[in-house]
Amino acid sequence: MPTLHWVGKDKVVRHHHDVPFKVLKREYRFASAQPAANTSTGNKIIHGDNLEALKALLPEYEGRIQCIYIDPPYNTGNEGWVYNDNVNDPRLLKWLNKVVGKEGEDLSRHDKWLCMMYPRLKLLHRLLAEDGSMWVSIDGNEQASLRLLLDEIFGVNNLVSEIVWQKRVSPANDAKFFSSDHEYIFVYARNKNIFTLNRLERTENQLSNYKNPDGDPRGNWNSVTYTCNKTADERPNLYYGIKNPNTGDIIFPKKTAVWKYDEKKHMENETNNLLFWGMDGKNKAPRMKRFLEGMGNVVPRSIFQYSDFGHTQEARTELLGILENSAFSTTKPVKLISRILEIASNQDSIILDSFAGSGTTAHAVLKLNAQDGGKRKFILVEMMDYAETITAERVRRVMDGYGENPPPPAPLTEGEGSTTPIAGRGSKVVEGLGGGFEYFTLGEALFTENGQLNEAVGVEAILRYVAYSERIADFSCPLTQLRQTDSVLKTESVFPREKEGRCGELPPAKDATGCYYLGETHGVQVYFIYQPDRVTSLDVDLLAQLPVKPGKLVIYADQCLLGEDFMRRHGIIFKKIPRDITRF
């Protein structure tokens, strides 16, 4: 298989492992006052670089995202994007924090873009559900490189389609050569063998092809050819004369394209009023009526026409309607993304956009939920400061409603003759869709540079991380810390206080404070014995205090003072803090 090479590739292929795991710091929670029977909660907007944000999402979301849509910088040379990944390599450090320039001026422009994209795509791939798909918008600047990159990360067999989106209505007449009217959208499945997609509801445009000129009681129809591409020699039974009932003419098909049906079936079609001879009834060949009812939804086509999927001008108008004066210029139409979600998500899917810009993906999720009663959730990541003023603000307005209708005219007070309206608020032009989200920034790294737990993140963040890494599905904070006084500890432990040979010299923890039960996963109970300022030990005294049910145990602590044989007999797995905490 052909692969792509570029300056710095050797350094970035494993870079996603080196990215520090940071905890997400919740800044605020927004809940719209609009009643929202259908729309989801549990949405997230993250302000920060998506390399770190995606890593922070891994423990909770690995393998759970049904649909990823991203619209990264296209590397046009005009976007002013900056390479700022701290990869430890002198060639890449030279690029750090410098704006990526234009073709010709910046010979490493494509290398930089590939170095930026590779580790992010690796993390996105891990976040995708086994039956999920990723959709990536791109234009001609990086389309060819991106295809090879995605082939490498997803596997060439998982390419579902390369879509062409017709983004303009009218051509750019000032173009030097061609008016650039399209972009691409790559669609990759995590695993094409199990990936399925939804067919699309017909658009207004498509529905308008179905009419009922003859008032057929079966409803609207359009017509299809009555011939097929077989010859009279190949299908002699399909070559015969049929009579136009309006003109009396006997009509034969061409010998190179005979009728689609034999004479018996044709008679049935005639009896069932399925033949159409043109508006004046005098056509030289019939067509077959095809009724809209019972046709079902349509298969998505690989060309997304602006009439059905929106265009860039429409997208800008949409955004200005919500955020007047917004200077954000690379927004996508809501229609484009909601149609993608129609194809690639179900009503409970989690949808991720890690290059969120003006937040169109969240808008599309909310709109689609309102349309079909779904409970899709969105996660957006945006690194620029406008994550709050544009991304989150747009989502808030879409949830609350936007645009002010003028206030209703004031009632006239008798005898006054004045028509001055009473000061009041008008209603929203576009009604709110309801819902809410949590807004996060990137907090501290969970591990320090020398691999120790960073206590500054707080016990809760550490426990949450470990619980996710152990795949404990119903983990919830705040946790109950098991204390001597907790009644739960008074239950009989399954472990006798048997004396074990100690395998270390350090004293055991004096009490059970710092002992956290994280939950159960596949019949294994998981405990985390942790104190920020003291070494914790797994020993018989501690074990005897755990209210464990019979079954296997995973116990995290700083050290283990139990013998191997004892551990094996009681089905205990010891994991050392921090060494054995999984690094995502």
Shortest distance in whole angstroms from residue 331 CB to ligand SAM: 4
Least distance (Å) between residue 47 CB and ligand SAM:
9
CB 44 within 8 A of CB 438: yes
For ligand SAM, which residue of 21, 276, 355, 440 counts as binding (CB under 6 A)? 355
Which CB sits closer to ligand SAM, 50 or 559? 50
Q: What is the 3-state secondary structure (H, E, C) of 467-500?
A: HHHCCCCCCCCCCCEECCCCHHHHCCCCCCCCCC
CB of 389 to ligand SAM, least distance (A): 12
Smallest distance, ligand SAM to C-beta of residue 358, A: 3
CB of 167 to ligand SAM, least distance (A): 12
Is the Cβ–Cβ distance between 85 and 119 less than 8 Å?
yes
Stretch that binds ligand SAM, among 295-303, 329-337, 473-481, 549-557 (CB under 6 A): 329-337
**What is the nearest approach in angstroms of ligand SAM to the Cβ of residue 134?**
14
Distance CA 52, CA 120 (A): 9
Rank residues 136 and 285 by Cβ distance to ligand SAM and give the closer one: 136
Contact between residue 468 and residue 64 where contact means Cβ atoms under 8 Å apart: no
Residue nearest to ligand SAM (CB): 357
- Residue 399's φ and ψ, nearest 5 degrees, are -70, -40
Residue 266 lies near ligand SAM (rule: CB under 6 A): no
CA angle (34 as vertex; 28, 35 as ends), nearest 5 = 115
Preceding amide of 578 cis, omega within 30: yes
Give the residue, chosen from 71, 183, 308, 558, that forms a contact with ligand SAM under the rule CB under 6 A. 71
For residues 276 and 288, what is the distance between their CA atoms, to the nearest angstrom? 6
Any idea what DSSP says for residue 81?
A: -
Of the candidates 514, 498, 516, the residue with the CA atom closest to the CA atom of residue 561: 498
- Contacts with ligand SAM, 276-315, as mask; x by CB under 6 A: ----------------------------------------
Residues 127 and 65: their CA atoms lie apart, in Å, by 6
Please give the Cα distance from 581 to 573 (Å, whole number). Answer: 13
- Least CB distance from residue 112 to ligand SAM, whole Å? 12
Asked if residue 142 binds ligand SAM (CB under 6 A), the reply is no
Q: Which stretch binds ligand SAM (CB under 6 A): 378-386, 414-422, 491-499, 525-533?
A: 378-386
Nearest CA to 128 out of 350, 329, 301, 300 is that of: 350
Q: Which of 20, 59, 73, 253 binds ligand SAM (CB under 6 A)?
A: 73
Q: How far is the CB of 164 from ligand SAM (least distance, A)?
A: 18
**Dist CA 155 CA 162 (whole Å):** 15
Total residues binding ligand SAM (CB under 6 A)? 16
List binders of ligand SAM among 473-492 (CB under 6 A).
none
Q: How far is the CB of 185 from ligand SAM (least distance, A)?
A: 11
Selected binder of ligand SAM within 312, 326, 331, 454 (CB under 6 A): 331
Nearer to ligand SAM, 359 or 578 (CB): 359
Beta carbon of residue 8, minimum distance to ligand SAM (angstroms, whole number)? 16
Residue 331's SS3 state is coil
List 107, 169, 267, 384, residue binding ligand SAM (CB under 6 A): 384
Does residue number 382 form part of the binding site for ligand SAM (CB under 6 A)? Answer: yes
What are the tokens at 167? 């983004």
**From candidates 75, 108, 358, 454, binder to ligand SAM by CB under 6 A:** 358
Residue 82, φ and ψ in degrees, nearest 5: -120, 135
Cis (ω within 30 of 0) for the bond into 478?
yes
Of 10-69, binders to ligand SAM (CB under 6 A) are: 49-50
Assess contact for 579 and 453: CB atoms under 8 A. Answer: no
In this complex, which beta carbon is closest to ligand SAM, that of residue 76 or of residue 481? 76
Among 143, 330, 481, 513, binds ligand SAM (CB under 6 A): 330
Strand partners of residue 70: 136
Task: Report whether 384 contacts 50 (CB < 8 A).
Answer: no
- Torsion angle, CA of 440/442/444/447, rounded to 10 degrees? 120
184 or 259: CB nearest ligand SAM: 184
Of 240-248, 355-363, 502-510, 517-525: span binding ligand SAM (CB under 6 A): 355-363
SS (H, E, C) 374-408: CCCEEEEEECCCHHHHHHHHHHHHHHHEEEECCCC
Interface residues with ligand SAM (CB under 6 A) are: 49-50, 71, 73, 81, 330-332, 355, 357-358, 360, 381-384
